[in-house]
Structure 1
Amino acid sequence: MEHNHNSKFELTKSVVMHVTQRTKSKKDKNGHRPPLDRPLLVIGDRVIEEVQSFKYLGIIINSQLQWKIQAQKAIEKATKFVLQYQRLTKITTGIRPSLMRTLYISTVLPKMTYGHDVWYTPPLKPAGSKKSKGSVSALRQMKRIQRIATTVISGGLRTTPNELVDAHSNLMPIDLALLKICHRATVRMLTLPKSHPLHRHIHVAQISNPKKPLL
């Protein structure tokens, strides 16, 4: 293909990632099941490096299709932005609350929820279970980030309940905002035309239930 298009592949920038959740049946000395033996990918005289995670279109995918690394990176970016955002609020020379709200919606929230409909699993507590399943840890950290922003916007005290500062900041609670993003993405996918390449796969996923959350 590179000869047909007169475009030589840059093999030094190429990596290979084997995507599977299967492991060996025999545990190692630490009690963990090691991954399956995987063949090397050799192109020409170069062995392509194998990686456990890879960033594609801004989303970090790992070899087991779990999204913990992506969630951590999203939280790190949002935390960095909200701390810088907090510095802009001064009693005498700071930005007005209405502009701070706009800044939060246009900068911090997109950084925190980019690719959210791919990697985020809304926490649910199955019947008879004591613990919720899904992106519980990520949701907890995103609540903390939004609380910093809403406290700044509303001028509330540190002891003010989250629901109150959200309401005074005219922002949805973060868990409802994340559900809204997931709902919007689901509606968009379910209304794809039959000619779309993803239509059949989405229909199959619609009528089947995953065995466990991916995060």
Structure 2
Amino acid sequence: MAPSPKVPLPAVPDYAPPYWAQACQHLVKKDRVMRRLIPQIGSEALASRGDPFVTLARSIVGQQVSVKAAASIWKRLEALPPAMEPAHLLRLKVDDMRSAGLSARKVDYLVDLSIHFTEGRLHADRWPEMDDEAIISELTAIRGIGRWTAQMCLMFYLQRPNVLPLDDVGLIKGISQCYFSGDPVSRSDAREVAEAWKPWATVATWYIWRSLDPQPVAY
């Protein structure tokens, strides 16, 4: 049998994680959907904001809402303090935060997150040396941060290469559309599909998200 023709890969942008090109090469060889999506989406990649507080706060805002709605709420929230930093957020009035579109529960979560940062209860400086599950355990001890939110931090702040957020609605929907013709997909189905993505599940997840939404996900 003749070998499959080599897929021309798009140029990798400067802001991409250092492993992005290697991951794309692996994925187009191992996965038929990635073989189509990666060239189709072009020279884009996951971008980090370089700030653990902002990444976690954006992830809380993004819980259970669409990418578009989350971006709109964040824009209004970001306009309230002089800078999006824990100490500044703690000085905001609850009513002002609610008027930005946040639920009372999310306001509580953001306040609790800010307190953890201002009181030094989080050890972000140690995260680069910690494994994924240890970081998830530390983060999920904070009210309002579940496994999904912690995984967004792993992906977007630490840029860990092999994160598979099975609680992500968009990922499950994208796997359903791309691999199962829109049929319902279980977590075990998704996990089976993602076997071919290892050790680059973060990259494949980002491309699945982009297959659904022209606006890149960025926490």
Common topology (TM > 0.5)? no
In terms of fraction of residues, the more strand-rich structure is 1
Task: Work out which of the two has the higher radius of gyration on C-alpha atoms and give 1 or 2.
Answer: 1
TM-score (ref. length: structure 2): 0.28
In terms of fraction of residues, the more helix-rich structure is 2
TM-score (ref. length: structure 1): 0.28
